[in-house]
Structure 1
Amino acid sequence: MSLEISPACRDALQHWLDRQGALADASDHTLAAYRTDVAGFLSFMAVHRGGPQGLGALERVTTPEIRAWMAQARSTGISARSLARKLSAVKSFYRWLAEREGFDPTAVLTARAPKFQKKLPRPLAPDAARAVIDTVEMQSQTPWVAARDVAVVTLLYGCGLRISEALGLSGADAPLGPSLRILGKGQKERVVPVLPAARGAVDHYLSLCPYSKEPAAPLFRGVRGGALNARSIQGVMAQVRMQLGLPATATPHALRHSFATHLLEAGGDLRAIQELLGHASLSTTQAYTAVDTARLMEVYDRTHPKA
């Protein structure tokens, strides 16, 4: 962290980060990004005003100063998306600080983020998704490892799980029943149905796995018996991409996108898919699915008929 930041600001930043880690369940990676983004803003204000700034000075930050910080950040070559992320972190810090110190943060909170083109997710075609599952099995000569990778990939595509959610399952979740209770982002709980193909894939893996099925142990094990690392599945998907000639966007997370898109294409209700994915906002689910507007309206008209 820059030496230009005053001790009071450093302490406030650390307290906010501690709160984000404890209450918002932010990951270490996210907290590191928050620290860099907010510290960069505080450093800019110190330089901009000619010296380290205390908390009282932060309360008097003006809209032109926010714009000056954003302009300086853009001059370093960062993208509009990255700047929007930095501004979001600074706003979050200011909301907390204003509540704690009792000042009006309007000048910061009303600053507009730069517009950028959101990258739409690229799901796989249904036949490509099936080919991925079939090809994953051929990536390892060790039968139980091959069965494990198939089980994980089948859960991602068949249940719409995040890879962290699939790898977070424990022995207590096995054998899988007709549904799974998943604790997702922000500690939000949801129930997802488990297709017979997914249950069968997990059962097959468990029948071959050489490690004990203890309730508290990870369901999916690495070759040495510890918890399976997400990088292992990402590596398997990279091999499968090359063999099938799929684009770089064919990642484990793309299988979750594919789950949502294929459900909607089959006539699924957008709000029901939102619940299955664990999205807080319906607009997030809509952006998550690669279905054109005409198709969305068709589904909307069918599931929400006009009087």
Structure 2
Amino acid sequence: MNQTGGLNCSRLQVQSTLFSRPSTTKALRRGAPRIPGTGTLWTRVLTGTWWKTWVSPSEKRSLHYGLYNSLYEWFHPLYLSDKKTGFKTQEFVFNKLLPELHDLVVRYKPDLIWSDGDWEAPDTYWNSTEFLAWLYNDSPVKDSVVTNDRWGAGCSCKHGGYYNCEDKYTPGHLPKHKWEKCTSVDTFSWGYRRTMQLKELLDLPTIIQDLVRTVALGGNYLLNVGPTAEGTIPPVFEERLRGVGDWLRVNGEAIYGSQPWRVQTENATLPIWYTSKGSTVYAFLLSRPSQSWLKLSAPIPSPSTNVTLLGYPIPLKWSPIQPSGLMVGLPLEPFVDGHGWTLRLDGVK
């Protein structure tokens, strides 16, 4: 937000971080849990430093942390009263929403505010521009905070530090504005469901494909899991999160701190996605090659070109092809098992 209250769309989102929407213990309702005082259906007065039990570990690992806030509350009497007037009154906004939002920022000093629940009313009802003006100009986090684009009906994909556009949004090209794909391991819910079935959950290969495609197109990847009412992560979700972590231990250098390359994807032999970091280019293979070689059409090799497979100790053989590109010889062993592999290309254009 600039000094005149105009929306600032230049703030950058941290790329390729896996987020889980925060939970409270003893949650009293179904759906995605909320930090107390940020859009719940119950009121709790909290004191002390309970929240540091999950904020401090993130700070130790240099992770930015964000807080989720739902603007509207389905059954709050003040909100329902405003709704009956066609949102011409703002009793809910001034007596409930804005005091909690200000308290959220002052007390917890989040790096990111993930706003939601805006679709029933315009930003003028939510008083969004005034709040964002304070957030970016006068709040304790004015120089660091990042916000998304859900601040009023019709705002998504138009105004915000970065765009969510819609749940599970995936652009077909490299967007000009910073964006995020938010998706859930449970394809039917953002919260925990006792009745969920395995076939309704994203499997690990799908999650890794989602992550790679999102990063190749310059996006942030938000992966949600719904904690239980006791605040625990179900084993089936933990298995997937740990699987992504195992994959990132091998391939993370092509994800963290990377940028979109001049070519984001190609399909000369099989689907390939690209990222870059400095002068290094990374090529992701999301399916097992059927042959012992791979054709890459986009990179332009040079005499100093070096090709390696992340997690494999021996440089790979390659040869140039005309008019541009290279053929890469692949080892058989690493392709026996896995959910995606990464070639590191040095000395290419």
State whether TM-score is above 0.5.
Answer: no
The alignment's TM-score, normalised by the length of structure 1, stands at: 0.29
Task: Indicate the structure with greater helix content.
Answer: 1
Task: Indicate the structure with greater strand content.
Answer: 2
